């Protein structure tokens, strides 16, 4: 994992993250999505910051695991649709630009450290990169999971590929093409969620998982996750799927869907 020049551990925590809160303590790197007012939508610089934090964790053997969480009632609403149309919010981040394109669907596969997703808010669209990519997903029993892209003239191409790694293909396709909300209990039955917790117990549940992982060899886990990645089918899946997303956005239906979303009206499809 090398999106940036070698990151100096001493300077990492002096950087300004505009869209994340990054904390390191007792071998755990905790990354909090901090764009609550925008439902933690994936701003391009947020993705850049995520890659920076993941690369730091990859090269730092003092970090044994990562916890991903978010502020607010929406864990992540997916891609920032305004950014897709060229309207990009300014920021004060000091994180440098990555060397090359970041494919968020590949970040989790290449860190080779256990990742725990603590889901305390609803998840939509590209937010499922976090659930499909994490090794352990602890979700509150009151959250909602939705894939509404087809209702916006889009399709969850890369998310589909990530979900197919943890869920049955027929269910993934059904979800993608119908665009409904999936109950958290059903998500657990299909393998997307590891454990369901009540809101007042989730902190304790996550902490118990962290303590359990700390009893095991971090180097053995790291080598095991690297071996798992090695035996997975290789290819250019995420790059191809990203290109397909761009093609769909540029279609007439894609433009109509984004326009209707901005104007808060029902889209009029032409099939073009």
Q: Is the pLDDT of residue 269 over 60?
A: yes
Q: Is the pLDDT of residue 137 over 60?
A: yes
Pairing of strands 122-124, 74-76: parallel
Q: Answer whether residue 53 shows pLDDT above 60.
A: yes
Residues 142, 197 contacting (CB under 8 angstroms): no
Chain segment 218-246, per-residue pLDDT in tens: 999 999 999 998 887 765 676 787 788 88
Q: Above 60 in pLDDT, residue 213?
A: yes
What mean pLDDT is predicted for residues 6-26?
Answer: 90
Is CATH 3.90.1150.10 what the domain over 9-201+212-263 is classified as, yes or no?
A: no
**More confident call, 84 vs 165:** 165
pLDDT greater at residue 240 or residue 200? 200
What own/partner pairs with CB < 8 Å and gap ≥ 24 does 173-177 have?
Answer: 175/147, 176/147, 176/149, 176/150, 177/150
DSSP 96: P
What is the arithmetic mean of pLDDT over 136-147?
Answer: 97
Distance CA 163, CA 131 (A): 9
Sequence-distant (6+) residues with CB within 8 A of 222 are: 112, 113
| pLDDT of the residue at 156 | 92
Global pTM value = 0.89
Strand-by-strand arrangement of the 74-76 sheet: 74-76, 122-124, 144-146, 181-183
Looking at residue 217, what is its pLDDT? 97
CB 71 within 8 A of CB 122: no
Query: Can you tell me the distance from the alpha carbon of 144 to that of 181, in angstroms, rounded to the nearest whole number?
Result: 6
**With 80 as the cut, is the pLDDT of residue 89 above it?**
no
What per-residue confidence (pLDDT) applies to 107? 86
Q: Which of 104-113, 123-132, 237-246, 249-258 has the highest mean pLDDT?
A: 123-132
Domain boundary assignment for the chain: 9-201+212-263
Model pLDDT, residue 99: 87
- Comparing 242 with 132, which gets the higher pLDDT? 132
Express as a percent the part of the chain with pLDDT over 90. 66
Sole residue written with tokens 């993941």 = 54
Provide, rounded to the nearest whole percent, the portion of the chain with pLDDT above 70.
97
Query: For residues 153 and 260, what is the distance between their CA atoms, to the nearest angstrom?
Result: 9
């Amino acid at each position: 994992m090398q999106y940036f020049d070698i990151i100096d551990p001493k300077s990492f925590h002096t950087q300004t993250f505009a869209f994340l809160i990054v904390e390191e303590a007792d071998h755990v790197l905790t990354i909090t999505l901090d764009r609550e007012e925008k439902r933690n939508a994936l701003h391009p610089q947020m993705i850049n910051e995520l890659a920076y934090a993941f690369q730091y964790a990859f090269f730092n053997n003092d970090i044994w695991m990562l916890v991903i969480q978010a502020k607010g009632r929406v864990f992540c609403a997916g891609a920032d649709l305004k950014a897709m149309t060229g309207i990009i919010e300014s920021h004060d981040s000091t994180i440098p630009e990555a060397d090359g394109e970041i494919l968020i669907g590949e970040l989790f596969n290449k860190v080779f450290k256990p990742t725990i997703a603590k889901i305390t808010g609803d998840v939509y669209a590209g937010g499922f990169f976090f659930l499909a990519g994490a090794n352990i997903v602890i979700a509150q029993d009151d959250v909602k999971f939705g894939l509404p892209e087809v209702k916006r003239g889009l399709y969850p191409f890369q998310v589909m590929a990530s979900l197919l790694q943890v869920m049955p293909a027929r269910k993934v396709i059904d979800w993608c093409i119908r665009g409904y909300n999936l109950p958290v209990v059903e998500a657990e039955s299909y393998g997307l969620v590891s454990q369901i917790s009540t809101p007042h117990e989730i902190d304790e549940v996550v902490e118990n998982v962290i303590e359990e992982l700390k009893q095991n060899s971090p180097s053995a886990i790291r080598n095991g996750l690297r071996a798992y990645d090695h035996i997975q089918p290789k290819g250019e899946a995420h790059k191809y799927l990203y290109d397909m997303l761009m093609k769909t956005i540029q279609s007439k239906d894609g433009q109509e869907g984004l326009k209707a979303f901005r104007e808060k009206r029902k889209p009029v499809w032409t099939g073009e």
